[in-house]
Amino acid sequence: MAALGRTLFVIHLVFLLLAAILIGGSIGGFLGSGYMIVAALIVIVAWGIFAGLTINAVRLANRVAAGDGDLTQTLLWSNRLFITLIALSAVTGLALGFLAFVGCGPPWLSSLYHWAGMLGTILGFLAFFLLPVIVRAFVGESDEYATFHRWYWVVFMPLTVIVIWGLAWLIPYIILKGDINESEYAASNRVYKLPFPQGESSWVIQGNNSGLNHNNANSGQKFSWDFRRRCGTPVLAARGGTIQSVVDTNDGMGGTNNQIQINHGDGTIGFYLHIERGSVPARFRTVGATVLQGQQIAKVGSVGNSMTGHVHFMVKQGANSIGVSFTDVTDDRGIPRTFSSYTSGNRIVP
């Protein structure tokens, strides 16, 4: 029984470490706003309670390892704790990961919740289903503790979670992925660079011609990109030109949008939407002011029809957007795709 106690001791320490990572990472959520702060508070409280329960499990396992513990109590406590871990990890990875995605704040927090939640779910299932095997290995086949689970637990519990998690990725991907026809992107329009600083990477939340709102039915926005960025970081000119319009007086999600427009001098206009209130430099507030590629024209925000901090970029000729590509996107023929990450080569200039 001492070996069994030591094994359970190590397993619970691993789960305690996972809780510590999530609680520690959640402190970064207070640098955000609104929903992200709510998600961080829930994670700290929920995983704090789980950590307290796990510390008790560590204590029980340590007593079994020392030879004076109650094995029945320790195994029942461990079994229930593993079920709790599965449920808590799934909620963290899916619901709280999404909640931390909404609004401004550190972009990595939602990823931490999602992937740590997935890891916790997998580890929880492994511990839950392997516990009888571990008991049989250390205590014996005939022992009363050797069997815990019915076959339908083994089959349907993981299958249900896998289906839910898969749909959480599949449904947004189908809606947002878009349908790229490369013949619609003229070679002459490959003169742009990504609208954020050189060396930094950004994930494309939504690409061109999507089933959501990047299409011609929505104000001619078929050829638009949403680059996820942290609020307050620089928005750079993807191409030089002159200022045509500036609106940066609005604030808050769901209201009127902010945007800056740059006339490229060839009948095309670059649009940068959802920028932070009051973030356009004074020298670019005058219509006709010259802008060079790579100059900071605003800061990233989450204003208007926006769910998270990002830059909505598109180029229009008349009422509709046109297909353009980027010289610093070396993959995908210079056309950023949904759910892919790209590194900018747009050097900041004064």
What is the CATH topology of the domain spanning 182-343?
Answer: Glucose Permease (Domain IIA) (2.70.70)
Structure tokens at 134: 């571990």
Average confidence (pLDDT) over 323-327: 97
Q: Which of 107-116, 163-172, 194-203 has the lowest mean pLDDT?
A: 163-172
Q: What is the pLDDT of residues 13-53, one digit of tens each?
A: 999 999 999 999 999 999 998 899 999 999 999 999 999 99
Amino acid 264: pLDDT? 98
All structural domains of the chain with their residue ranges = 2-176, 182-343
Look at residue 159 and tell me whether its pLDDT is greater than 90: no
| Contact residues for 127 (Cβ-Cβ < 8 A; gap 6+) | 11, 15, 78, 82, 85
Look at residue 120 and tell me whether its pLDDT is greater than 50: yes
Amino acid 69: pLDDT? 87
What is the C-alpha separation between 213 and 263, in angstroms, rounded?
A: 24
What is the C-alpha separation between 301 and 65, in angstroms, rounded?
A: 54
Look at residue 143 and tell me whether its pLDDT is greater than 60: no
Residue 149 banded pLDDT, cuts 50, 70, 90: low
Average confidence (pLDDT) over 276-290: 97
pTM of the complete model: 0.89
One-letter identity of residue 262 = I
Amino acid 142: pLDDT? 46
Residue 151 banded pLDDT, cuts 50, 70, 90: low
Amino acid 134: pLDDT? 86
What share of the chain in percent tops pLDDT 70? Answer: 96
Amino acid 325: pLDDT? 96
Nearest one of 231, 237, 225 to 185, comparing CA atoms: 225
- Are the CB atoms for 18 and 123 separated by under 8 Å? yes
Amino acid 150: pLDDT? 63
Structure tokens at 126: 């492994």
